[in-house]
Structure 1
């Protein structure tokens, strides 16, 4: 007989960490973003103190292998939509690129161009679209119907036949969740891109748009 003791043992918590991502009860991921931004900033500090010589090639190698992974791990789950969180992440890359002495006094956009680095916001968008490609092409163990609404797609309509139906959302949080925020950009991609043998062409077309 169940005496209800299992219910009394349940604890109400405001946040939980799962597979390296901090989930809070609001699902805005503000604390997670703050945590990874601080961690990446500390790594930038270690690099700055450790390496006496820093040119563009050395910086890119270190940054891509030691810093950026902290800022991008599982970002399809927690991708920010609040300006303060977007700016908090971009500020890490903005400061990091100043490590290169020859670029220190140039504007951020110029530093990115000379280093051949995109903004983190662009990287998140590209990552989202690659994730969509993998799901729709069954390259990951995720059931398409549980992630996206594809029910009204009809072959022969303008555009490609893998368009995602964007649902009517009444909250900003829902509008910016993965399955909804990807719809507009994904649906605008050419058929040749969404049906390509690999997600590689996505980057090329995003560069043309952005």
Structure 2
């Protein structure tokens, strides 16, 4: 992966750029996952925010499905176990995202809290 400014990346000709390690050509990719963080070619971490939003959304929906018959404390324990770590891990990356991406994460946070506290949306 090459880390450059956008202006420098636009000037770069990828067809002549080849990295070899012991006669094996290293593949050029738009994004990759390393230690649970999605890196992209511009280091904007947009793919990472989409990735954690999807994971959090799946777990919040799971909590809503099973939460109807559970106590508030049990739902809070499930939230702290399977949802909160995704918000916390590399959270400093998400602080610098645009408002729309942050709102998606906030929507799932609100859904989880409404489920735990047995509150309606309105």
> Is the TM-score greater than 0.5?
yes
Counterpart contact for 1:55–1:101, Cα < 8 Å: no
Gaps of 5+ in 1: 107-210
Task: Give me the CA root mean square deviation.
Answer: 2.5
Judged with a 3 Å threshold, the aligned counterparts in structure 2 of structure 1 residues 33 and 5 are, in CA distance, closer, same or farther, namely: closer
Q: Say which structure is richer in strand.
A: 2
Structure with max Cα Rg:
1
Q: How does 1:60-209 map to 2 (within 5 A)?
A: 60-76=76-92, 78-81=93-96, 82-100=98-116, 102-105=118-121
Structure 1 stretches of 4+ moved >6 Å: none
Long gaps (5+) in structure 2: 1-17
1:5 positional shift: 8.1
Q: How many residues align?
A: 102
Match of 1:149 in 2: none
TM-score (norm 2): 0.69
Is contact 2:56-2:108 (8 Å) kept? yes
Counterpart residue number, 1:131: none
2: distance between equivalents of 1:28 and 1:20?
15
| Aligned twin of 1:190 | none
TM-score norm. by structure 1 comes to: 0.42
**Shift of residue 105 of structure 1?**
4.5
User: Could you say which residue in structure 2 is the equivalent of 1:13?
Assistant: 29
